[in-house]
Structure 1
Amino acid sequence: MEAFKTNEIVPDVISTVPAKVLSVRFKSGKQVNLGEEIQPKYVTESPEVQYDSDPNSFYTLVFTDPDAPSRKNPIRREWHHWLVVNIPGSKVSEGEVLSEYIGSAPPQGSELHRYTFILYKQPQKLSFDEPRHSNTDPARGNFSTEKFAQKYNLGSPVAGNFYFAQWDESVPILRKKLGFD
């Protein structure tokens, strides 16, 4: 878990290292392994996320890119790619989706981006007043995982994981869908 500090996810996204590693596997077969590189073409669909949970509790899952549009110039930090709240136990598919999943789409030449998954255990089922985003909505920049967690009293992250990605040939298709190019 020291990788969260080494790669500056602490403090760029969260202030404390998550307690456990979050298991994240994409339908392409790619597994997220604390900072390994995965090409965007392998993360186009939402992943399977697994974690130890209390079946009587609710969880929040955040998937975010703190390096938008680049790590050297993160003026849209954080750009959130997926936000699911009120997840009953470990049943992510039964949670309330505030932002539909969007795969990695780093701009060409922006070098490696850190794509970060953070899981929180909620104090109870919550009402969220955040805007809802479809998977074609580009208005996701300048999100703050830390401020979101504070606003809803989520406490420290219970699990997390991250991977690196940079531009590949699949990115222009997604960026066009989002109206970026």
Structure 2
Amino acid sequence: MSMASHVEPLIVGRVINDVLDLFVPTVAMSVRFGTKDLTNGCQIRPLVAANAPDIHIVGRANDLFTLVMTDPDAPSPSEPSMRECLHWLVVNIPGGGDPSQGEEVVPYMSPRPPLGIHRYVMVLYQQRSRMVAPVPTASGVDAARARFSTRAFADRHEMGLPVAAMYFNAQREPASRRRHY
């Protein structure tokens, strides 16, 4: 399967345009929540995504990557006035490794879609050099999550275009499925 074929679902799902500019993936990234392997545009129940996914990034050990995860559909897909909500930010991830080996700038926050079907986008950038990870204060983390821009972040840190991206959909679970104690 060619890397270019990975872009098509991103175009169809409007991830290209709403979040990213057109790019050609050059790095393989696998994402899995528990036993479920992520494919672009698949549906994941918020409960399944309660904990950060296992992510493996192919690359040489001296390569460094940044992972950004956002929700471009906050608070609702029809009125995304909070676009984008930052769910996770990890820098200095070594190639061949996973985010736990990098530096977590903003901790993982599970999907909490209040209304409609939300897209959750994971974008991988290759860094030119090691980043000095900013240490946000507790109040700073919440501020950092609101109206984040993946493009602006990449520009500010001169990362160029992404090397990989994947997204999944999630919607609020109907109340009937929640347990009543």
- Global fold match (TM > 0.5): yes
8 Å Cα contact 2:66-2:124 kept in structure 1: yes
Distance 1:128 1:87 in 2: 12
Q: Which stretches in structure 2 are left out of the alignment for 5+ residues?
A: 1-6
Equivalence for 2:107: 100
Equivalence for 1:46: 52
1:144 maps onto 2:153 in alignment: no
Closer, same or farther: CA 16–91 of 1 in aligned 2, 3 Å:
same
Distance 1:132 1:154 in 2: 24
Equivalence for 2:25: 19
User: Which among 18, 30, 37 is matched to residue 36 of structure 2?
Assistant: 30
8 Å Cα contact 2:66-2:127 kept in structure 1: yes
Distance 1:10 1:130 in 2: 30
Equivalence for 1:71: 77
Equivalence for 1:8: 14
Q: If the length of structure 2 is used for normalisation, what is the TM-score?
A: 0.84
Distance 1:127 1:93 in 2: 17
Equivalence for 1:179: none
User: Which among 112, 116, 122 is matched to residue 111 of structure 1?
Assistant: 116
8 Å Cα contact 2:67-2:90 kept in structure 1: yes
State the Cα deviation string for residues 70-108 of structure 1 (Å, max 9, x = none): 11111110001110001122232121111101111000x
> In the alignment, residue 93 of structure 1 is paired with which amino acid?
S
Distance 1:145 1:133 in 2: 21
> In the alignment, residue 33 of structure 1 is paired with which amino acid?
T
Closer, same or farther: CA 4–17 of 1 in aligned 2, 3 Å:
farther
State the Cα deviation string for residues 14-41 of structure 1 (Å, max 9, x = none): 11235055311012x2221100111101
Aligned residues: 166
Closer, same or farther: CA 10–128 of 1 in aligned 2, 3 Å:
same
8 Å Cα contact 1:16-1:157 kept in structure 2: no
Percent of residue pairs bearing the same amino acid type: 37
Distance 1:132 1:56 in 2: 29
Coordinate RMSD, CA, aligned:
2.1
8 Å Cα contact 2:103-2:133 kept in structure 1: no
